[in-house]
Amino acid sequence: MTQSDLEGLVEYERKGNIVTLTLNRPEKLNAFSDELVAALMEGLRRFDGDNEAHLAIITGKGRAFSSGADVHQRQLRSREEFEKYGGPQAFGAHSSDLLTKSVNWKPVIAAPHGYVLGLAIGIVFECDLVVAEEGTKFQITETPRGLGASKYWGLLNYRGGAAFGTEVALTGRFFTAEECLAAGLINRVAPKGKFLEVANELAQEVCKNPPLSVRATVRTRRWYMEQLTREIMMQTAPLKLYLSEDFKEAARAFAEKRKPGPFKGR
């Protein structure tokens, strides 16, 4: 990937001490290609190194926060590419690294709306605080896609989701911002069209405190979160579910806009 490949994919704006990072691929519902992951990583690094920036908000332009991984790029790779990269993501485009490779440990708020699917769920729930627009729909698409939801189960349990997290991880069903709030997974549900406004209000409350004090808590929270997710990855990586027949069938069915299956358990 070159710098020109990333240009314009994530908008960076700072007002006072608060940065807004906006996913800017609305024509694809902000589906995460390798390039979009890399662009968000670049934006977060810029934020992390900006001495005047104390908190960031991640949001998405258009009808949705994100529809998840770009299936046509990341899930329809050749077997050779999957084996080369060790999964659907290219080198330097692993979303699990976005918030765990920080230097200054500044807090990040996710402000989703519309849809939060698949890979995007990981990004949202790895953020330190979450403000979702009312009616926002979430789905762990890795379950019906054949990739397994272990990472997301871990994240939801880490945030206190417990039984609810297990249900949505095993069923792969849609669930709402309101259900997330009731399960203690997110911090606020904002009225329609007000999710950025409410996220900024929460950001202002955080920014009233001494920055280094806030960052100490963020660093501890992310350290424990990373230990959990890395352990899960060590358990699931040898399964190589991205090489299974069921995953291949589910990804092709999605691309061809048809019902997948029957699944064969291999």
Helix, strand or coil, per DSSP, at residue 90? coil
Helix, strand or coil, per DSSP, at residue 46? helix
State the residue for tokens 């790895």: 126
Look up the pTM and report it.
Answer: 0.92
pLDDT of residue 2: 63
pLDDT of residue 5: 64
155-200 pLDDT, tens digit each: 999 999 989 999 999 999 999 999 999 999 999 999 999 999 999 9
Provide the percentage of residues in the chain whose pLDDT is more than 70.
Answer: 98
Please name each of the domains of the chain with its CATH number.
3-194+208-255 (3.90.226.10)
189-235 pLDDT, tens digit each: 999 999 999 999 999 999 999 999 999 999 999 999 999 999 999 99
**Token digits for 92?**
């330097």
d(CA 108, CA 97): 14
Average pLDDT of the chain to the nearest whole number: 93
d(CA 47, CA 10): 12
State the residue for tokens 């989703």: 112
92-143 pLDDT, tens digit each: 777 888 999 899 999 999 999 999 999 999 999 999 999 999 999 999 999 9
Which pLDDT band, with edges at 50, 70 and 90, does 82 fall under?
Answer: confident
- Residue 49 pLDDT > 80, yes or no? yes
Nearest residue to 122 via CA among 112, 114, 134, 133: 112
